[in-house]
Amino acid sequence: MSSPSTMKINGREIEFHKGKTILEVCRENDITVPTLCHDDRLKPYGGCRLCIVEIQGVPRPLASCTTPAEAGMEVTTETPRLTRLRKTVLELLLSNHPNDCMCCEAAGNCGLQTLAYQYGARLDKYPGEQWQLPIRQDNPFITYEPNKCIVCGRCTRICNEVVMAGTISITNRGFEVMPDTAFGKPRSLLNCEFCGQCVSACPTGALTDRKGRGLGRSADVKKVKTTCTYCGTGCNFFLNVKDDRVIRVTSDLSAPVNKGNLCIKGRYGYDFIHHEDRITTPLIKDGDGFREASWDEALELVASKFNSLIAEHGPEKVGGFSSSRCTNEENYLLAKWVRCAVGSNNVDNCARV
């Protein structure tokens, strides 16, 4: 990597590598700059104008997300003028935004709400016409409330730039502009992968996960970072847990492998965890069927039966199949169990099938 250049941000001398934007340099140095249209997974866009900063020698503020950092630059991220301009931008956004945070699915996890609070933006500063469009729930996974859209383009950009699914794009012009599917058709497998990437990119409550609606909002859940159980890619995400139940999966933007990206299985394939078909108690064969048993009874039966088979026929006649679905620790234990408790090497896993 080339040797670092230096610039000044808020009076601080900062080293950076050429090719970064001012916003990226700020974030690397824990300097907060507000944005609504920026997503690390996307190319710089410069749409929302909230990330404006003052640069010495430049008469007007510039969007930090699209301005490359240059050696010797002197940048200021907070001034009274910037605060005033950002507040105005927010108030213009709020002029066409429903005032229903108390019922909104995204409350507590909404960039617009956070910034409106931070900048003291008034809801009624610019009264005027507002969208009155119906909620769209035309598919099992993604709920669309167009009235809450601020047209930051994150959903359409992630759909086209990252997933390349081409499901949604910005449609119409002027006041009517909004992200939508072609011809406003319902989402189906014909036009959508249902990866929910658009939901993960949305900074407001315009796009939300339908399956988790009404079950608990950001502040109500415990978020447990874990690794996906499906394919071998190893995506990380947050299981959102309320009352000992998984109610939603949300993106972990810091995940080393997937950087917050997920597919339909990772994001929406979690209902099996609490499905009524789960086997909840040990079962012992009884005639043509099975009868329920306690753990103690079942495990004692398993242990004594294996022991008697080993005693009668030798350890070479007993073995175990392990699972590529289970954890490393469990696979190790099964390998150890066959070698130590059974006494054979008859252990294999389904890695080959």
Partner 1 sequence: MAGLATSLGAGAATNSLNQMPDIDTLFLFGSNPTEAHPIVSLYLKEALTNGAKLIVGDPRKTWMAKRADVWLSLNPGSNIALLNGIINVIIENGWEKSEFIAQRTEAFEELKAKVSEYDLDRVEKLTGVARQDIIEAARLYSHAEKAMIVYGLGVTEHQTGTENAMAIANLALVCGQIGRPSTGIMALRGQNNVQGASDLGPLPATLPGYQSVTNPVLREKFEKAWGVKIKDKPGLKSVEMLDECRKGKFKGIFILGEDPAHTDADAKHVQEALAAVEFLVVQDLFHTETTRFADVILPGASFAEKDGTFTNGERRIQRVRQAVTPVAGLAEWQVISRISTLMGYPMPYTHPSEIMNEIASLVPIYGGISYDRLEEKGIQWPCPTKDHPGTTTLYTDLFSRPGGRAIFMALDHQGSGEIPDDQFPYVLITGRIREHYNNGSMTRRSKGIAEIVSQEMVEIHPQDAEALQIINGDWMKVASRRGEVKVRAKVSDRSRVGSVFMTFHHQKVLTNILTSGHRDPITGTPEYKACAVRLEAWRE
Q: Which parts of 283-322 interact with partner 1 (CB under 8 A)?
A: 283-285, 290, 295, 298-307, 309-310, 312-313, 316-322
**Which lies closer to partner 1 via its Cβ, residue 173 or residue 285?**
285
Q: Which stretch binds partner 1 (CB under 8 A): 51-59, 65-73, 178-186, 275-283?
A: 275-283
Is 164 a residue that touches partner 1 (CB under 8 A)? yes
Residue of the chain from 72, 140, 184, 186 that contacts partner 1 (CB under 8 A): 140
Scanning 217-294, the segments in alpha helix (DSSP H) are 264-268
Give the interface size with partner 1 as a residue count (CB under 8 A). Answer: 115
**Which lies closer to partner 1 via its Cβ, residue 117 or residue 290?**
290
**Which lies closer to partner 1 via its Cβ, residue 101 or residue 341?**
341
Is 218 a residue that touches partner 1 (CB under 8 A)? no
Asked if 75 and 51 count as a contact pair (C-beta separation under 8 A), the reply is no
Residue of the chain from 85, 123, 241, 253 that contacts partner 1 (CB under 8 A): 241
Residue of the chain from 74, 78, 138, 348 that contacts partner 1 (CB under 8 A): 348
Minimum CB–partner distance for residue 328 and partner 1 (Å): 4
Asked if 20 and 5 count as a contact pair (C-beta separation under 8 A), the reply is no
Residue of the chain from 62, 85, 170, 347 that contacts partner 1 (CB under 8 A): 347
Length of the chain: 353
Is 337 a residue that touches partner 1 (CB under 8 A)? yes
As a whole number of angstroms, the distance between CA 53 and CA 69 comes to 12
Residue of the chain from 11, 59, 80, 232 that contacts partner 1 (CB under 8 A): 232
Q: Which residues contact residue 67 at a Cβ distance below 8 angstroms, ignoring those fewer than 6 apart?
A: 21, 22, 53, 55
Residue of the chain from 1, 102, 219, 279 that contacts partner 1 (CB under 8 A): 279
Minimum CB–partner distance for residue 34 and partner 1 (Å): 26
Q: Which stretch binds partner 1 (CB under 8 A): 65-73, 91-99, 102-110, 273-281?
A: 273-281
Residue of the chain from 1, 103, 219, 351 that contacts partner 1 (CB under 8 A): 351
Minimum CB–partner distance for residue 310 and partner 1 (Å): 8
- Please state, in angstroms and as integers, the Cα–Cα distance from residue 203 to each residue in 20, 142, 255, 279, following that order: 23, 15, 19, 39
**Which lies closer to partner 1 via its Cβ, residue 136 or residue 339?**
339
| Strand 207-209 versus strand 142-144 pairing type | antiparallel
Is 334 a residue that touches partner 1 (CB under 8 A)? yes
Distance of CA 5 to the CA centre of its chain: 34
**Both tokens assigned to 295:** 């753990």
Is 213 a residue that touches partner 1 (CB under 8 A)? no
Is 278 a residue that touches partner 1 (CB under 8 A)? yes
Is 349 a residue that touches partner 1 (CB under 8 A)? yes
As a whole number of angstroms, the distance between CA 90 and CA 143 comes to 24
Q: Which residues contact residue 279 at a Cβ distance below 8 angstroms, ignoring those fewer than 6 apart?
A: none
Residue of the chain from 33, 50, 106, 195 that contacts partner 1 (CB under 8 A): 195
- Which of 111-115's residues contact partners 24+ apart within 8 Å by CB, and which partners? 111/35, 111/36, 111/203, 111/204, 112/36, 112/150, 112/203, 112/204, 113/204, 115/34, 115/36, 115/50, 115/86, 115/90
Minimum CB–partner distance for residue 290 and partner 1 (Å): 6
Minimum CB–partner distance for residue 141 and partner 1 (Å): 5
Is 163 a residue that touches partner 1 (CB under 8 A)? yes
Say which residue the tokens 């809801």 belong to.
123
Is 271 a residue that touches partner 1 (CB under 8 A)? yes
Q: Which residues contact residue 69 at a Cβ distance below 8 angstroms, ignoring those fewer than 6 apart?
A: 5, 7, 16, 18, 20, 21, 22, 24, 25
The alpha carbon torsion through 164, 170, 172, 178 (nearest 10 deg) reads 140
Asked if 169 and 181 count as a contact pair (C-beta separation under 8 A), the reply is no
As a whole number of angstroms, the distance between CA 69 and CA 4 comes to 12
Is 185 a residue that touches partner 1 (CB under 8 A)? no
